[in-house]
């Protein structure tokens, strides 16, 4: 059995090897599609910042040995996740996302708050986002996931860490069975983290766009994390606890 840490309803797995295989997305009846679209359209009316785009969902999780994980994935769009809110519907798949544990050189972890225009306004989390499907003739593997994580880190915080410098560090399974792949980045000085974040957010505002993240904080314990007001991503406390207790 894999080594598992359970905290606040989240499972945290110590994964050393990851293999991915593509599967088909669930087929919906015409009634299911209509119910999904009604929920999605209401969500967009409430938050016009939401948009539909291709993403990768988790179609299955299988352990090949205690530290090797096989993930099945399927091509969907963000609209698919509206099925979670359709009473009685069981055809939806969990989301699959990447994030980055970015330490400072004195052992703290960077956490960030989502801006008001996002799907989770005010929520504290790690830099990251949903996994995007590969282009034609490309493969979704651990290398591609590292590139995805490095791109999210650069877009959201301005930190241009090479994908080859990210290490798969943990896998979480949390709310709605969502699977998170956490990559560890090399430590950086606090001043650099703050300067890069300020630069990237200022550039977004200069273009008339609201940055995806509106604030960062550096924490060295779960206790410091708890002092940050607002909702927290369910995986955040287990990840911070694992890193700061190491």
Kindly list the domain boundaries of the chain, sorted by start residue: 4-245
Ramachandran quadrant class, 107 (left: phi over 0; alpha: psi -120 to 50; beta: rest): left
Q: State pTM to two decimals.
A: 0.93
The dihedrals phi and psi of 151, each to the nearest 5 degrees, come to -65, -45
Average pLDDT, stretch 172-194? 96
**Tokens found for residue 129:** 């986002």
- Give me the phi and psi of 174, to 5 degrees please: -130, -135
In which element (H, E) is residue 159 found? none
| Confidence at residue 196, expressed as pLDDT on a 0 to 100 scale | 97
Give pLDDT, residue 151: 96
Q: What is the mean pLDDT of residues 105-126?
A: 93
Q: Does the pLDDT value for residue 8 go beyond 60? A: no
Whether residue 4 has pLDDT greater than 60:
no
Q: Do the beta carbons of residue 240 and residue 222 sit within 8 Å? A: yes
Band the pLDDT of 116: cuts 50, 70, 90. confident
Angle between the 142-157 and 190-206 helix axes, to the nearest 10 degrees? 80
Question: What Cα–Cα distance (Å) separates residue 83 from each residue in 37, 90, 121, 197?
Answer: 9, 8, 21, 35
Average pLDDT over residues 153-168: 96
Over residues 91-104, the mean pLDDT reads: 96
- List Cβ<8 Å contacts ≥24 apart for 72-77: 72/20, 72/21, 72/22, 72/23, 73/20, 73/21, 73/22, 73/23, 73/131, 73/140, 74/22, 74/23, 74/24, 74/25, 74/26, 75/22, 75/25, 75/133, 76/25, 77/52, 77/53
Q: Which of 185, 75, 84 is nearest to 127 (CA)?
A: 185
Architecture of domain 4-245: Alpha-Beta Complex (3.90)
Handedness of CA 82, 84, 85, 86 (dihedral sign): positive
Distance (Å, whole) CA 16 – CA 140: 17
Whole-number average pLDDT of the chain? 92
Model confidence at 168, in pLDDT bands (50, 70, 90)?
very high
Task: For residues 67-74, give the mean pLDDT.
Answer: 95
- C-beta neighbour count of 125 within 10 angstroms: 22
């Amino acid at each position: 059995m894999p080594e598992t840490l359970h905290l606040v309803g989240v499972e945290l797995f110590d994964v050393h090897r990851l293999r991915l295989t593509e599967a088909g997305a669930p087929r919906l009846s015409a009634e299911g599609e209509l119910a999904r679209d009604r929920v999605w359209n209401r969500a967009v009316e409430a938050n016009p910042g939401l948009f539909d785009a291709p993403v990768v969902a988790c179609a299955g999780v299988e352990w090949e040995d205690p530290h090797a994980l096989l993930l099945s994935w399927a091509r969907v769009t963000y609209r698919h996740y509206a099925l979670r809110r359709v009473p009685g519907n069981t055809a939806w798949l969990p989301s699959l996302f990447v994030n980055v544990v970015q330490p400072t050189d004195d052992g703290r972890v960077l956490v960030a708050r989502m801006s008001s225009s996002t799907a989770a306004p005010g929520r504290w989390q790690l830099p990251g986002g949903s996994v995007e499907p590969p282009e034609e003739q490309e493969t979704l593997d651990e290398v591609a996931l590292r590139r995805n994580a490095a791109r999210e880190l650069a877009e959201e915080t301005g930190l241009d860490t090479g994908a080859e410098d990210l290490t798969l560090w943990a896998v979480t399974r949390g709310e709605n069975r969502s699977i998170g792949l956490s990559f560890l980045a090399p430590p950086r000085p606090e001043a650099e983290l703050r300067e890069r974040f300020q630069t990237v957010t200022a550039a977004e505002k200069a273009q008339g766009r609201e940055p995806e993240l509106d604030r960062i904080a550096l924490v060295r314990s779960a206790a410091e994390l708890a002092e940050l007001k607002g909702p927290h991503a369910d995986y955040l406390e287990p990840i911070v606890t694992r890193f700061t207790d190491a």
